[in-house]
Structure 1
Amino acid sequence: MSLSSYVDKKVCIITTDGRCLVGSLSSYDNTTNLVLSNTVERGIRSADEGVPSTETPVGVYLVRGENVCLVGLVDEELDMSINWTEVKGAPIRTTKNP
């Protein structure tokens, strides 16, 4: 599947080390190197942690293709209605072998 229909749209990227990046897909190439703009990194914490989840703005962000696990479109209306600091969940584990 081509990412061409995702360009200039808000996407969520899950990386091989379990990070969640959300931003506008600016560009990509045939090895799935991705350039995101207006990017935030979401750190979802588990319910037993006493700290809120985080959203850290990182601006323009380059993700190397070898580090991409998932690229998905974001429903912007739904995304904006969620207070991400209150979201709790299990951590996403790495896909890399130790």
Structure 2
Amino acid sequence: MSLTSYIDQKMLVITVDGRTLVGTLLSCDQVTNIVLNDTVERIIRPADDPEPSSEVSHGLYLVRGDNITIVGLVDQELDNSIDWEKVRGEVIGTTKHV
């Protein structure tokens, strides 16, 4: 399935190394290399970590297709209602290519 129908929509990407990226899909190709605009990396901390969760702005961002684990549309109304600094959760582990 092609991601071209999702151009100009807000997407969430989880990478092979467990990072969570959110941005507007600008472009993609046949091997799922994608370009995101207004990209933010969400760093979710575990409950026992004293540091708050955070969002780091990356702006225009290219993600290679072989570094993507999953891509999905973001429900913007729900996403905007969440205070991401207060969200806690377990760290997403890395995936292994076999």
Q: TM-score, normalised by structure 1?
A: 0.96
What residue is the counterpart of 2:8 in the other structure? Answer: 8
Q: What's the CA shift for 1:4?
A: 1.5
**Structure 2, unaligned stretches of length 5 or more?**
none
Q: d(CA) in 2 for partners of 1:30 and 1:5?
A: 13
Matches within 5 A, 1:9-88: 9-88=9-88
Identity of aligned residues (%): 59
* Structure number having the greater helix percentage: 1
Contact preservation (8 Å) 1:45, 1:53: yes
What amino acid is aligned across from residue 65 of structure 1 in structure 2? G
Give the conservation status (yes or no) of the 8 Å contact 2:2–2:30: no
Residue 21 of structure 2 contacts residue 42 of structure 2 at CA under 8 Å; is this kept in 1? yes
Q: Secondary structure at the match of 1:72?
A: strand
TM-score normalized by structure 2?
Answer: 0.96
Give the match's secondary structure for 1:77: helix
CA drift at 1:5: 1.6
Matched AA of 1:69: T
**TM-aligned CA deviation for residue 96 of structure 1:** 2.9
Aligned length: 97
| Per-residue deviation, 1:7 | 0.7
* Partner Cα distance (1:10, 1:88) in 2: 22
Over the residues paired in the alignment, what is the CA RMSD in angstroms? 0.9
- Flag as ranges the 4+ runs of structure 1 deviating above 3 A: none
